[in-house]
Structure 1
Amino acid sequence: MINLDMRQGLLTTIWIAAVAVCSFQCSAPGEGNTRSVTGFNEGWKFTRDTTETIIWEEVQLPHTVQIEPLVVNDMWQGTSWYEKDVDLSLQDGQRAFVRFEGVMHEADVWFNDRFVTQHQGGYLPFSIDITDYLDEGSSNTLRVRVNNENNPVIPPGKAIEVLDFSYYGGIYRDVTLSVTDDIYITDAVHANQVNSGGVLVHFTEVSSEVAKGILKVHIKNDSHKEREVYINYKLDGKDYTSETVRLAGESDTTLMQTLEVKSPRLWSPQSPELYEIAIEVMADHKPVDQLIETTGIRKIELTDDGFFINGKNTFIRGTNRHQEYPYVGYAISDAAQYRDAVKIKNAGFDMVRLSHYPQDEAFLKACDELGIIVMNCLTGWQFVGNEAFVANSYQEIRDMIRRDRNHPSVFFWEVSLNESGMSDEFMVMANDILDAELPYQDIYSAGWIDHPSYDLFIPARQHGKSPDYWNNYQGGVRKVFIAEYGDWEYYAQNAGFNQKAFEDLAEEARTSRQLRSAGEQRLQQQALNYQEATNSNRKGRDVGTIGDANWLMFDYNRGYADDLEASGISDVFRIPKFAHSFYRSQRPAAEQYGFAGIADGSMVDIATFWTESSSPVVKVYSNADEVALYLNEELVEKKLAERDIYATDLDFPPFVFDLGEFEAGTLRAEAFVNGEVVASDTVTTALEPTKLGLSVDLSGVALTTERSDVVFIYATVVDQNGTLVSDDSREVTFALQSEEAELIGENPVRAEAGIATILLRTTRFTKEIKITATAEGMSEGELILSPEMQ
């Protein structure tokens, strides 16, 4: 037995904070509250196993092992410990489970000094049954040893110092406690059942008239006696009851029902309709468990003629996303996950590839609700390990499918180790696992190698040869989805897969890797790169390309690099660059959503800061028919979009205006459809900076009140008219007045392109939060956040 107490006598223990004790009151079976799910994020102790002195901290989950600098390629790696006191009393016939959504990346778990389990893999959940480990009437201790050191058998397998992303450490996702009857619906991952476990919903026949499918509910009887079991369930306002089965003690069964919904509301990126299936388990005619599963009904088809959603041939507009935040790494709230999804939708995308690992369940839920297609990804990047690594990869495929199979947003399963030399045996087996788990016609696998096992070929643009790339591809029978584009082909000019060998190859004139501080010309170059690559990809629509995903949405850290990977169309703080405006312009104005925080419909953006160093040739992005540009309220020109070599195949080419020379003042653009103004934008030459304006990025999602949350606070350097001073880099100091929050990040911090950013992390939000920002020569900025104002 391994535990921290064994080290007493050798080590000095310093207690930093008292531990909060959580109490849970659970009803007896049959009293109407048959399943209790409680947040388990508070009241943890934490220590890093680094010295002879153990220093405990009180922490709240999600938690990262160490707050890192903004640019990090030597993040903390090693062993850390988490402990929690659990005051829990179960009544006869109840069971208790603790579910960890994500621990990076090896976890050993003890309960009351008794070893429970080891879990390998940092991106998917695992559960423990603590029922038989509980000491009734006394305090119980849950202890988790976490290790995030390089491990070649745990995907991604590759050492972090040569890895193209960073995986940080800690119990970085939510933990929950579930108390159930001893007859209960299992957790799909914990049950480890092929094409079963938990709740499985799949609609196999879908039309506008009727949708037919199956419902599978896996039920376990952990009691010692046989029981008569059946389920009641409600779908689309109608009640149903299954057949009754006799379920022996200490056994399990799967009840399968047929589903039918007439005139279904179909899920699509433009109309993400969702259904709830309310399930009640009955044992001996008494309710013993209840669960609500949310899903959607849609028909997807990959055919010789293209990709169809509900019968409509669709070219998919997508992006890639890494799930990290600056400083705190992966340890972000469910609300922060949702805000990222809002930003992706706002940028004009209807699809996201989860590069290069399964991401948080909260992010998938947001994609379900916002209408964002998901390509779910096996963890991997330029590495194939030994037999143990391969076995862990196979299990990750199973667990990913079981966790995510009911999400209507998940269209594609990337059961492929990205840019890795997979064997034929691996690719066949990976697809066989998917086929066994989901043996349905509309399940599509994706792989970066054009192998017969895969349904969809997903090369990066740079994997092909310039100038055609994949537009004339004749190598296979699979449709092509460009899984990455816009970065590497401009950065290294098709130098190959070994990115580290070419890390110093970037040239300012061509690279898409541009920080916001790089200046107007280089940000415009990045936007042009993405425009050119997008236009190139569109040429392949007639020869088998069904969509693309740019690289990428947000800047991020890499294990092998001393700088941020800056090809994001928004920076690491989620602040948009000019390329963001280009992608927004490629969404048709007719696509209207009405979601909180989503800017849909007609748009127009002027892609310049309009300073003395600005080019007099001004590009305006819009999805309208016609744009008029004014300088200081004098019409420069009203014109239609022009198709140059970078816009031959775009749905909405940009508008280019040549003003001849720079003149300070205000540029105003008006966008017209059928002669009517539908959108406008203004850009004004900044005067001398005078003050700081403070704002918070909520993206339509209010600060969480009873749990931890994390948001960006922006201090914008502005002139007397409130205009951003885009070349300002002065030092800004933030201050906080709050009992329930802290500031995280460099402080003071230098403004980048006129904006200084810091993270605000709350433990809860029940009282007013006041944030101020100061800088030399500036009026102070102030921001007050109040629960009543949300």
Structure 2
Amino acid sequence: MKKSFIFLTFIVFLYSCQETDHFMRINTSFNSDWTFTKDSASLEWDSIHIPHTPQIEPLVVNDQWQGDAWYKKTFKKNPESKKTFLEFEGVMHEAWVWVNGYLLKHHQGGYLPFTLDLTDVLEAQNTIVIKVNNEDNPDIPPGKLLEQLDFNYYAGIYRNVNLIETNSVYITDPVAARKVNSGGILVHFDSISNKKAIAKVKVHFRNESAEDKSISAKIEFESPSGKILSKLTEAVEVSSNSDRVLSTEIDIENPELWGIHSPRLYRVSVKLMEGEKTLDIKQLTTGIRAIELSEDGFFLNGENLFINGTNRHQEYPYIGYAISDEANYRDAVKIKNAGFDFVRLSHYPQSEAFLDACDEVGLLVMNCISGWQFFGGEKFQENAYQEIKDFARRDRHHPSIVFWENSLNESPMTEEFMIKANLLLKAELPYKDTYSAGWIDHPSYDLYIPARQHAKAPGYWNDYDENARKIFIAEYGDWEYYAQNAGFNQTAFADLSEAERNSRQLRGAGEKRLLQQALNFQEAFNSNLKGEHTIGQANWLMFDYNRGYAFDIESSGISDIFRIPKFTYYFYKSQRSSAISYPEPLESGPMVFIANFWTPSSPLNVRVFSNTDEVALYLNDKLLSKQKPTRNKFSSELPQPPFEFELSEFEVGTLKAVGYIDGKEVALHEIKTPSEAKEIKLKIDTSGVEISKNQEDVVFLYAEITDKEGTLVPSFDGKIRFSIESESAELIGQNPIKAEAGIASILLKTKGDLDSVEVFAEGEGLESDRLILREELK
């Protein structure tokens, strides 16, 4: 799979022989060779690499570090460049930037980029110093005190830094330009059909040379299949030290449409021309898709779609937000593999790397400004308004984004704020397919996005007024069960403790609780499908995470914080049609999964998740039953209800499920009764995304504890110690660490120039294991 979001950073645009007297744009990663300290008076600064977090946190973060962090770097000026810019993709959440002693920028906001023009202060040798602060600040969204917040805002320069060098005539950055419905390259497609799409293109540029110029733009569209369309605009006169916009339309015949099953992407290249000379080249990737929100539902490329999705927090254990582009991509792969076609970016703008990944794997996106249960004063509101402008300008070319949540999540917004928020969004993106989303049912929003806990059981939002706007259930499956107000009278609820009926279950909570979590999500999913005016849903949530106010991990994720699936993950995976086929690294097609460990204490009501017609269950190769899906009041509306098998007794051995479609065997899963823990099996999780050869990267290492036959022992919770031999990689995390449900996890952080990496795992009474990284990746 092409990973344009990684490679574009490093593209150097070369020029032909007739253009050698003109400097061309160079984009360079500025992530390496930084130093860092928490004490600016210190004589000792640590060598670090961006992305960076000032503090390695414990696994359970109940006292997240806050304070000042200082970064410094020296670099040489390129004598050939005419203009030099520095782009910060994300700094949490207040930054002061000095270059050669000049304060160039004071920026507030931790989730969106900002760019500095360094040109006038550069010398032959330069020093940049940055002070970063993430202490509580009610003026900076989300604004709420960390100790009261439902997520964390981890410190540091945690996203990429990019050095951009251009000619004195250059295409601007869309965020830095601060132009309404302009800045940089703006592409929007109108009148989209299978036969034709009209691409409307704007190019905003500046002439900072000493001369007036006559400038045109050559615009080129390269289709996913390699077909190229190009058009040269008429030249415009632009005075010295001024800016202009070039606009044109391009008809694209028989467009290759972007969709959730075929995420086809176009590369757009824009050349600024002075006669025959190219002054600047800039590229972006986008897609052509038609979306419509109407009385009849949500339509993608003319097809009515009920959207099935999830929510995502961007944190990793220990390192917080400081994750690589590849790590962001792996999260997108995991979400798609779980059976979802949508992700809500709760509750803040996330990295462009993740959005690029969503574009490439076919995930619809609800883009969100930062907010949670807090509405601040005038300065806070100004910063929130700026977020709306900035995320629209940064993200407008992503075909994955279908809804813009310009709403402060669960916050008491004023009517004035909501009206202005929507006016700002529509000014930036004045198109009929720009759909705003708000958690308050206000007419200024196109889509109403309540969580299930915002209504009463048992109906929740199924009886919503048919004359009102469409509903998207933004969160479900968690809080209503945590608060015990589900109202569905689940059969087992009377016999369950508060902890047992909760959807918040760690992966090591045991079969009974993991099955209850799966049933809770299933029941709420099934209920959501009864809402006539509900166009989709996003469960809460994909991955476990830490919160500022809590002393435990929020564990309603369908995968744990290390991205290891729980039973519920496979329930969702089974809801995707078996007929769908995706290329690697994505998973698709028929599947079957036995949600059981098959030990003497395991439930004899065996639940099997599958997207097949029938499932046959065998015990030690003896057929127990062959059944259709089990439809009941908890599964009446589901695309694919689970299969439930009632067994009379436990017998040591192998439980095997075989899935059939049209009478043919298409999927198989088997589990074995584990015996005594004997061995460790090391695995690395790349999710099909190769470890970066250019930048630092971070991946999960798993030590699976097995018996002598290689069967996972889910009851094992002993300590595992990891060690490493490498000059280009390190381990991050609690070490030794107790295994959870038979798996111990740690982070492996790598440098771009990897040498041989050997990782070891050992535990008392267990046969240790060794993993050689390069061999593993071949």
Q: TM-score, normalised by structure 1?
A: 0.93
The alpha-carbon deviation at position 787 of structure 1 amounts to 7.5
The alpha-carbon deviation at position 159 of structure 1 amounts to 0.6
SS, match of residue 490 in structure 1: helix
Residues 245, 101 of structure 1: alpha-carbon distance in 2 compared, 3 angstrom cutoff: same
Give 1:245's match in structure 2, choosing from 232, 236, 242.
Answer: 236
Give 1:472's match in structure 2, choosing from 452, 463, 471.
Answer: 463
Structure 2 residue aligned with 1:177 = 163
User: What CA distance in whole angstroms lies between the structure 2 residues aligned with 1:386 and 1:54?
Assistant: 40
**How does 1:85-484 map onto structure 2 within 5 Å?**
85-91=74-80, 94-136=82-124, 139-236=125-222, 237-474=228-465, 477-484=468-475
User: What CA distance in whole angstroms lies between the structure 1 residues aligned with 2:422 and 2:62?
Assistant: 34
SS, match of residue 108 in structure 1: strand
User: Does residue 563 of structure 1 match 2:533?
Assistant: no
User: What CA distance in whole angstroms lies between the structure 2 residues aligned with 1:529 and 1:33?
Assistant: 60
SS, match of residue 452 in structure 1: coil
The alpha-carbon deviation at position 341 of structure 1 amounts to 0.2
Per-residue displacement from partner, 1:205-247 (whole Å, max 9, x unpaired)? 1001101130111111111210110011211412210010011
User: What CA distance in whole angstroms lies between the structure 2 residues aligned with 1:88 and 1:342?
Assistant: 39
Residues 289, 788 of structure 1: alpha-carbon distance in 2 compared, 3 angstrom cutoff: farther
User: What CA distance in whole angstroms lies between the structure 2 residues aligned with 1:788 and 1:751?
Assistant: 23
Per-residue displacement from partner, 1:700-756 (whole Å, max 9, x unpaired)? 101101210000000010011111000101110101011111100011111011000
Residues 29, 532 of structure 1: alpha-carbon distance in 2 compared, 3 angstrom cutoff: farther
Per-residue displacement from partner, 1:293-351 (whole Å, max 9, x unpaired)? 11000000001011100110000000000000000000000000000000000000000
User: What CA distance in whole angstroms lies between the structure 2 residues aligned with 1:29 and 1:59?
Assistant: 42
The question of whether the paired residues in 2 share the 8 Å contact of 1:26 and 1:90 is answered with: no
Per-residue displacement from partner, 1:440-471 (whole Å, max 9, x unpaired)? 10110000011000000000011111011001
The question of whether the paired residues in 1 share the 8 Å contact of 2:679 and 2:766 is answered with: yes
Give 1:671's match in structure 2, choosing from 637, 652, 659.
Answer: 659
User: What CA distance in whole angstroms lies between the structure 1 residues aligned with 2:777 and 2:298?
Assistant: 44
SS, match of residue 417 in structure 2: helix
Residues 789, 385 of structure 1: alpha-carbon distance in 2 compared, 3 angstrom cutoff: closer
**How does 1:730-741 map onto structure 2 within 5 Å?**
730-741=718-729
Q: TM-score, normalised by structure 2?
A: 0.95
Give 2:752's match in structure 1, choosing from 760, 764, 771.
Answer: 764
User: Does residue 714 of structure 1 match 2:702?
Assistant: yes
**How does 1:534-683 map onto structure 2 within 5 Å?**
534-540=525-531, 543-594=532-583, 596-683=584-671
SS, match of residue 670 in structure 2: strand
Amino acid of the residue matched to residue 48 of structure 1?
K
User: What CA distance in whole angstroms lies between the structure 2 residues aligned with 1:788 and 1:38?
Assistant: 30
User: What CA distance in whole angstroms lies between the structure 2 residues aligned with 1:233 and 1:58?
Assistant: 42
Amino acid of the residue matched to residue 580 of structure 1?
Y
Residues 703, 694 of structure 1: alpha-carbon distance in 2 compared, 3 angstrom cutoff: same
Structure 2 residue aligned with 1:45 = 35
The question of whether the paired residues in 2 share the 8 Å contact of 1:62 and 1:171 is answered with: yes
The alpha-carbon deviation at position 25 of structure 1 amounts to 13
Per-residue displacement from partner, 1:96-115 (whole Å, max 9, x unpaired)? 11100000000000000111
The question of whether the paired residues in 2 share the 8 Å contact of 1:64 and 1:171 is answered with: yes
Between stretches 760-769 and 448-457, larger displacement belongs to: 760-769
Tell me the C-alpha RMSD between the 2 structures.
1.8
Amino acid of the residue matched to residue 387 of structure 1?
E
User: Does residue 36 of structure 1 match 2:26?
Assistant: yes
Amino acid of the residue matched to residue 482 of structure 1?
I
The question of whether the paired residues in 2 share the 8 Å contact of 1:711 and 1:761 is answered with: yes
Residues 84, 527 of structure 1: alpha-carbon distance in 2 compared, 3 angstrom cutoff: same
Per-residue displacement from partner, 1:372-411 (whole Å, max 9, x unpaired)? 0000001000000000000000000000000000000000
Amino acid of the residue matched to residue 512 of structure 2?
Q
The alpha-carbon deviation at position 26 of structure 1 amounts to 10
The question of whether the paired residues in 1 share the 8 Å contact of 2:365 and 2:402 is answered with: yes
User: What CA distance in whole angstroms lies between the structure 1 residues aligned with 2:157 and 2:775?
Assistant: 28
Amino acid of the residue matched to residue 36 of structure 2?
F
User: What CA distance in whole angstroms lies between the structure 1 residues aligned with 2:337 and 2:630?
Assistant: 25
User: What CA distance in whole angstroms lies between the structure 1 residues aligned with 2:66 and 2:565?
Assistant: 32
Give 1:509's match in structure 2, choosing from 500, 509, 517.
Answer: 500
The alpha-carbon deviation at position 54 of structure 1 amounts to 5.0
User: What CA distance in whole angstroms lies between the structure 1 residues aligned with 2:643 and 2:405?
Assistant: 37
Amino acid of the residue matched to residue 228 of structure 1?
S
SS, match of residue 524 in structure 1: helix
The alpha-carbon deviation at position 30 of structure 1 amounts to 3.3
User: Does residue 70 of structure 1 match 2:59?
Assistant: yes
Q: Which consecutive unaligned segments of at least 5 residues does structure 1 have?
A: 1-23, 496-504
Between stretches 212-221 and 189-198, larger displacement belongs to: 212-221
Per-residue displacement from partner, 1:465-519 (whole Å, max 9, x unpaired)? 1011001111861100000000000001359xxxxxxxxx992231010001111
SS, match of residue 650 in structure 1: coil
Runs of 4 or more consecutive aligned structure 1 residues displaced over 2 Å after TM superposition: 24-33, 52-55, 787-790
The alpha-carbon deviation at position 257 of structure 1 amounts to 1.0
Amino acid of the residue matched to residue 391 of structure 1?
E
SS, match of residue 481 in structure 2: helix
SS, match of residue 58 in structure 2: coil
User: What CA distance in whole angstroms lies between the structure 2 residues aligned with 1:622 and 1:54?
Assistant: 61
User: What CA distance in whole angstroms lies between the structure 1 residues aligned with 2:331 and 2:748?
Assistant: 16
Residues 369, 390 of structure 1: alpha-carbon distance in 2 compared, 3 angstrom cutoff: same
User: What CA distance in whole angstroms lies between the structure 2 residues aligned with 1:568 and 1:128?
Assistant: 38
Indicate the percent of aligned positions where both proteins have the same amino acid.
55
The alpha-carbon deviation at position 53 of structure 1 amounts to 4.1
User: What CA distance in whole angstroms lies between the structure 2 residues aligned with 1:639 and 1:395?
Assistant: 56
The alpha-carbon deviation at position 592 of structure 1 amounts to 1.1
Amino acid of the residue matched to residue 171 of structure 1?
I
The alpha-carbon deviation at position 94 of structure 1 amounts to 1.2
Structure 2 residue aligned with 1:727 = 715
SS, match of residue 760 in structure 2: strand
Q: Which consecutive unaligned segments of at least 5 residues does structure 2 have?
A: 1-11, 223-227, 487-495
User: What CA distance in whole angstroms lies between the structure 1 residues aligned with 2:236 and 2:497?
Assistant: 66
User: What CA distance in whole angstroms lies between the structure 2 residues aligned with 1:510 and 1:176?
Assistant: 48
Per-residue displacement from partner, 1:110-131 (whole Å, max 9, x unpaired)? 0001110111000000000111
